[in-house]
Structure 1
Amino acid sequence: MSHAQNPLTVEVTLVREDVALLTVEGYLDVDTATELQAHLANQLHHGRRHFLLDLSGVPFMDSSGMNIVLRVYQEVRRLPGSVHVIAPAPAVQRIFDLTGVSLTVPVSRTAEEALALVDAPVERSA
């Protein structure tokens, strides 16, 4: 996939001071994944701990895109923080399911559902 033919756009909306909604549109592949990575790094630098990734506008994602999602997930878990994927296209959901990513990274239908998971109390073992 050529970056010029399939540009990636990322719109960042601050839901709260510590929560960023990133709306991603376009092909998320080896040519475009660094664009998403740059936006995520910038938001981490500015103190965001929770990321809502709206992937409804991403018709295709390869392993480069998946690695970006996993990398930020691992990084924010140490803060502690969270990553939530919102409304992935069927092809993207299939990649998450086949690789087991959907067992690790929560997938929600809407931003509201994802935000509710951010706000849910964490159950701790006694």
Structure 2
Amino acid sequence: MSTMTTTHTGTLVAHLSTGLSCHGEVDIAVAGQLVDDCRAQLDDLALPAGSVFVVDLSGVTFMDSAGLEALLEVQELVEEYDLVCRVRRSSPAVQRIVELAERSEQLAWLDVPSRPGLVSPA
């Protein structure tokens, strides 16, 4: 699959051969569409079981609780396809909402947070 880009209000999502990359805002306005887009992408990719699917959030400038819930849904969806989901959260906006919601342990992180106090599972 070649790189495909979808745009939503304030958000750009690049669908890559090994995952997706979000830029801009991931909030209630785009949360449902993000999950739907990911489902369609997983259907198109047909990756072998056990492959790693990376959700790169390093370009996210804002994320609310709906965006975080969508991220959790994306992770579940990826796992339903027998894939391994890893999330890159290098964005301070993502770190902030994860820290506030105390949901860090529910996601499989690819990177270590740069702020003290936010724990990253191994």
Q: Same fold per TM (> 0.5)?
A: yes
Deviates more, 1:44-53 or 1:26-35: 44-53
Which whole-Å CA distance do the structure 1 matches of 2:33 and 2:12 have between them? 8
Q: Match of 2:10?
A: 7
TM-score, normalising length: structure 1 = 0.66
- The structure whose residues are more often helix, as a share, is 1
Report the RMSD for the aligned CA atoms in angstroms: 2.5
User: Where in structure 1 are there 5+ consecutive unaligned residues?
Assistant: 15-19, 111-126
Give the length in aligned residue pairs: 102
Q: 1:54 aligns with which of 49, 53, 56?
A: 56
- The structure whose residues are more often strand, as a share, is 2
Q: Residues 11, 78 of structure 1: CA spacing in aligned structure 2 closer, same or farther, 3 A cutoff?
A: closer
Q: Match of 1:109?
A: 111
**Greater CA radius of gyration, 1 or 2?**
1
| Contact kept? 1:56, 1:86, Cα under 8 Å | yes
Query: Quick one: percent identity of the two aligned structures?
Result: 30
